[in-house]
Amino acid sequence: MAAVTPILPTGTADPAAPAPASSPVSRPRRMRLWRGVVLGAAAVYFLVPMAASFWFTVHSEQQGFSLSTYAEILTAEGFAASMLLSLALAAATIVVVLALTLPALLAVRLGAPGLRPVLEVICTIPLVVPPITFVTGISTVLRWGPDYLAATPFWATLIAIQDETFPVVLVLAYVVLALPFVYRSLDAGLRAIDVRTLVEAARNLGASWPHVMFRVVIPNLRSAIASASFLALALVLGEYTVAALLGYQTFPVWIVTISGANGRLSVAVSILSLLTTWLLLLILSGAGAKRKDSQ
């Protein structure tokens, strides 16, 4: 009974809720109460762990309140090395994944629409296959190397990509894992511009293909490329499974390693990495909103 809204809102039915423009029907009071409960419970569930873990890092029975844990991070053993490794892997991953995906997507738009289903399958599979099974496959290949490839030139390659200082094998894995996200952002970006006209115009005016790519297509896709790169960066900086099981000390692996000796420090690093991701994504959505406004 109370749930059925009046057909003609009189404006006096609910003085606290002036009829909003988006919905001409004023919502009943019970509905608002329910909404308040849901939002309140969600706020508690999502905010309490953050507040509590921050408290965990800054408060101790002996010392009381202190931010020293955060100061410790920079000088902590292994932090700089693992962070640099993760950042280098992220940079390499972004370059490779963009260099592979962008031409393929352009090809689909410009002259080979038949390839689209193929690309979609390729860029969906990494979402279906759990990363742990992917790393199982990779380590099998690496383990079989000595048995089957020892006498061939592939053997040297296999050794080279497992170099401790810069494990190329991780870049290969991360590019595969990043494909779905990069594909989607670039595809959305390409949908927003008339890439065919742009390319044809540039080509008719005599521009070479590299010129078309770097001076015409990429500048028009700047924000899509930025969002693809951010997503890939967040993915690489947070990826634990592949690196841990292949035995490389990337940033997330390092967090787990130190957690045994210094729990407080690992929680502090976790909070900071959440804040970093949050910031990256806020910048990203800010850039997206600006693009929408300018259209």
Partner 1 sequence: MMVSITGDAGEPAAAPRGGRARTGSWPAAVPLLAFTALAFGIPAVALVLGAFTVRDPQTGVSGFGTSNLVESLRGNYLSTLVSSVQLSAVVALLGAVLGAFLAQAVVTSRFRTLRESVLTASGVLANFGGVPLAFTWVATLGNSGVLTQALGLGEYGWSLYTFWGLVIVYMYFSIPLMVLVMVPAMDGLRPQWREAAGNSGATAWQYWRHVGIPVLAPALLGGTVLLFGSAFAAYATARAMVGSTVPLVTLQIADALTGDVLIGHENIALALSLDMIVVAGLVMAVYLPLQRRSSRWLR
Q: Where are the alpha helices (DSSP H) in the chain?
A: 29-58, 68-75, 79-110, 116-122, 125-128, 131-149, 153-160, 168-192, 195-204, 209-211, 218-220, 222-238, 241-246, 251-259, 263-294
At position 33, the amino acid (one-letter code) is L
CB contact set of 132 (below 8 Å; sequence gap of 6+)? 241, 245
Q: Which is nearer to partner 1, 25 or 84 (CB)?
A: 25
Report, in Å, the least distance between residue 220 CB and partner 1.
Answer: 17
CA distance 30 to 8: 19
Report, in Å, the least distance between residue 10 CB and partner 1.
Answer: 16
**How many CB atoms lie under 10 A from the CB of residue 140?**
10
Q: Which is nearer to partner 1, 9 or 220 (CB)?
A: 9
Q: Which is nearer to partner 1, 66 or 285 (CB)?
A: 285
Axis-axis angle for helices 263-294, 222-238 (nearest 10): 170
Q: Which of 175, 180, 68 is nearest to 128 (CA)?
A: 180
Report, in Å, the least distance between residue 126 CB and partner 1.
Answer: 7
Report, in Å, the least distance between residue 164 CB and partner 1.
Answer: 17
Q: Which is nearer to partner 1, 223 or 273 (CB)?
A: 273
Q: Which is nearer to partner 1, 88 or 149 (CB)?
A: 149
Report, in Å, the least distance between residue 80 CB and partner 1.
Answer: 18
Place of tokens 């640099």: 84
